[in-house]
Amino acid sequence: MNVTNRRNTGIRIAPDAVDDFDGAATPRGRAGNRRADEEHFPPNPPTCFWIGCSDYPAASEIEGESASTIIFHDNIANLVPSTDINCLSAMHYAVESCCVKNIVICGHYGCRGVAAAVGNHKFDFLSNWLNPVVRAAAKYRFLLDGIADTSDRLDALCELNVIEQVAAASRTTAVRDAWESGQSLAVRGLIYDRHNRLVEDFQVRVSEIDSATEHEAAIATLAKRWNIRRKI
């Protein structure tokens, strides 16, 4: 399983991007019972499940105590496909067994996976994986068409992809079961800019089952930032 719990790696991350990753929960079952394997968890139990992109994992920029409490999972274009048993299993482990308080979807500008999804290339096996990005581009074509510059349009799609993956994560059984049981859990979206080595939190956060309002607000904020004046 493509999950690692890295320690003290990388350089830095914007402080406010991890400021509420504290408050580690002692690993327990959802009912609050002491787990038989509790003694096997590390001294600082994970508090965050982080999905990043394989071609430039922003997670490598995180250092210090923050890194030691994050479970990292990377794939091409930081996706949460409903058919990816690997990603869903890792998320289930993080939410159910580790009781993490945050799930982070972290994309990055200039993502080659996102670019490949909308580029002119022959269909190959990667096209199957990148279908969620293709669907996001089609869904928000009315919005993307309002951005003249090609590079800017790709960056906007990178952001849209993160927003869509936050929505996808909020629909998983792991997250919905956690919310229904009253477990404290937020799903949030970040995007990494490799040029200034900072992570921007563009306010995609959901923390309850009815997350449609959060999603719509995130799209509206994105459209405003890119100066898109068309009706959303």
Of 8-16, 48-56, 91-99, 126-134: span binding Zn ion (CB under 5 A): 48-56
* Part of the chain binding Zn ion (CB under 5 A), chosen from 54-62, 117-125, 130-138, 190-198: 54-62
Contact 169, 190 (CB under 8 A): no
Q: Is 64 left (phi over 0), alpha (psi -120 to 50) or beta?
A: left
Whole-number minimum distance, CB 36 to Zn ion, in Å?
A: 39
Taking the complex as a whole, the smallest distance from the CB of residue 75 to Zn ion amounts, in Å, to 9
Token pair recorded at residue 225: 């930032």
According to CB under 5 A, which one of 55, 63, 177, 193 is a site residue for Zn ion?
Answer: 55
Position among 17, 48, 51, 53 found at the interface with Zn ion (CB under 5 A): 53
Among positions 63-122, residues that touch Zn ion (CB under 5 A) are: 111, 113
Nearer to Zn ion, 54 or 207 (CB): 54
199 forms bridges with which residues in the sheet?
Answer: 192
Least separation, in Å, of the C-beta of 3 and Zn ion?
18
Beta strands in the chain (DSSP E): 3-4, 48-53, 70-75, 102-108, 186-193, 198-206
Closest to Zn ion by CB, 55 vs 63, is 55
**Min dist. Cβ of residue 30 to Zn ion (A):** 33
Pick the closer one to Zn ion by CB: 48 or 111: 111
Sorted by sequence, the CB contacts under 8 Å of residue 231 that are 6+ apart come out as none
Concatenated DSSP letters of 90-130: HHHIIIIIS--SEEEEEEETT-HHHHHHHSS----HHHHHT
Of the candidates 27, 214, 206, the one whose C-alpha atom is nearest the C-alpha of residue 103 is 206
From the list 28-36, 45-53, 83-91, 193-201, the region that binds Zn ion by CB under 5 A is 45-53
Shortest Å distance, C-beta 206 to Zn ion: 23
Site for Zn ion in 119-158 (CB under 5 A): none
What is the nearest approach in angstroms of Zn ion to the Cβ of residue 207? Answer: 26
Reading the block at residue 34, the tokens are 């002491």
Q: Compute how many residues bind Zn ion; rule: CB under 5 A.
A: 4
Query: Phi and psi dihedrals of 177, rounded to 5?
Result: -65, -40
Instruction: Give me the residues that bind Zn ion (CB under 5 A), please.
Output: 53, 55, 111, 113
